[in-house]
């Protein structure tokens, strides 16, 4: 549950929307850090503080050598996840929908996204868990182990600089591509890899046939207890559409119609 901010507007929505617009504007080059610094902290306790460069404990046991496609739960709950790397388009609509409906979610940021959009990254991190999505979004199987390690650590540093604390110990491979050695390396770096049950494919844009209807249909076909739903911030370059942002309210309604609730990916960390 997310804490509700107290402000002079009553329920806080007009001020919150103005703040979101400012933060998305910051992603395009405007400065919104003064506003962001007044944002309320989320209700969840943040992760334990680590000093920069201090290694995370390696992932071992039942959670090692796995790239989770769904949460190991039996409750009828789904986890909404958002990859942040292509741009900030759609961020205002997505964050407004999640906040207005008091829904949990998890965001995976590239280090480049966090560095380019620090005010927006901090705003997101004050409300939702943030995971590591590499620094520059390369295909991990095609690069060297040294480069993979650099991608993970550089992203960790950039995210921590942007949001003021370490990310969660969650990692999502770019494009979902990985090999067993890739997973082993990420585990050794202290991260639990998380894939997805269903990709809404909103990133294809309207030019690629994506729509609210296709986003909803793809998700409902794959819905199961613990389902992890992949969506994206950013717009499709060819037509500038942000289908996931547009489709999110209808998708939430459709999932609820199936009598499902929502959760974050923190359960993977708690169960380690």
* 5 belongs to a structural domain: no
Domain span at 123:
13-42+60-270
d(CA 111, CA 55): 18
Task: Please report the pLDDT score of residue 54 as a whole number.
Answer: 73
CATH of the domain at 192: 3.20.20.370
> How far apart, in Å, are the Cα atoms of 122 and each of 113, 164, 180, 224?
11, 7, 33, 32
* 52 belongs to a structural domain: no
* 50 belongs to a structural domain: no
How do beta strands 106-109 and 130-132 pair?
Answer: parallel
Annotated active-site positions, please?
A: 83, 232
d(CA 167, CA 81): 15
Map residue 208 onto helix, strand or coil. helix
Assign residue 205 a region (left: φ > 0; alpha: ψ between -120 and 50; beta: otherwise). Answer: left
* Tokens coding 86: 């292509």
Look at the chain and report how many structural domains it folds into.
Answer: 1
* 150 belongs to a structural domain: yes
DSSP state of 10: S
* 264 belongs to a structural domain: yes
Per-position DSSP letters for 123-174, written without gaps between them: HHHTTS-EEE--SS---GGGS-HHHHHHHHHHHHHHHHHHHSSPPPSEE--G
Map residue 78 onto helix, strand or coil. strand
β-bridge partners, 68 = 194
> How far apart, in Å, are the Cα atoms of 264 and each of 77, 96, 227, 268?
9, 17, 11, 9
* 48 belongs to a structural domain: no
Task: Please report the pLDDT score of residue 44 as a whole number.
Answer: 45
* 172 belongs to a structural domain: yes
Task: Please report the pLDDT score of residue 43 as a whole number.
Answer: 38
* 156 belongs to a structural domain: yes
Query: How do the pLDDT tens digits run along the chain, 272 residues long?
Result: 333 332 333 445 554 555 566 565 544 443 333 323 333 334 343 444 555 667 899 999 989 999 999 999 999 999 999 999 989 999 999 999 999 999 999 999 999 999 999 999 999 999 999 999 999 999 999 999 999 999 999 999 999 999 999 999 999 999 999 999 999 999 999 999 999 999 999 999 999 999 999 999 999 999 999 999 999 999 999 999 999 999 999 999 999 999 999 999 987 776 55
């Amino acid at each position: 549950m997310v804490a509700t901010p107290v402000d002079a507007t009553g329920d806080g929505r007009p001020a919150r929307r103005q703040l979101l617009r400012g933060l998305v504007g910051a992603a395009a080059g405007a400065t919104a850090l003064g506003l962001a610094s007044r944002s309320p902290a989320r209700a969840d306790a943040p992760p334990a503080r680590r000093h920069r460069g201090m290694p995370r404990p390696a992932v071992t046991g039942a959670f090692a050598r796995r790239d989770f496609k769904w949460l190991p739960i039996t409750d009828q709950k789904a986890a909404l996840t958002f990859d942040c790397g292509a741009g900030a388009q759609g961020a205002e609509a997505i964050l407004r929908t999640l906040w207005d409906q008091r829904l949990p979610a998890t965001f995976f940021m590239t280090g480049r996204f966090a560095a380019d959009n620090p005010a927006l990254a901090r705003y997101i991190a004050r409300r939702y868990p943030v995971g590591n999505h590499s620094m520059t979004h390369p295909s991990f199987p095609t690069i060297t182990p040294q480069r993979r390690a650099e991608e993970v650590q550089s992203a960790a540093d950039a995210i921590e600089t942007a949001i003021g604390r370490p990310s969660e110990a969650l990692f999502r491979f770019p494009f979902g591509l990985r090999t067993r050695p890739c997973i082993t390396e990420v585990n050794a770096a202290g991260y639990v890899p998380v894939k997805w049950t269903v990709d809404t494919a909103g990133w294809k844009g309207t030019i690629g046939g994506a729509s609210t209807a296709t986003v909803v249909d793809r998700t409902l076909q794959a819905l199961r207890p613990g389902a992890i739903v992949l969506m994206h911030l950013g717009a499709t370059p060819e037509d500038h559409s942000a289908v996931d942002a547009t489709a999110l309210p209808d998708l939430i309604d459709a999932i609820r119609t199936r009598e499902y609730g929502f959760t974050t990916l923190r359960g993977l960390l708690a169960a380690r």
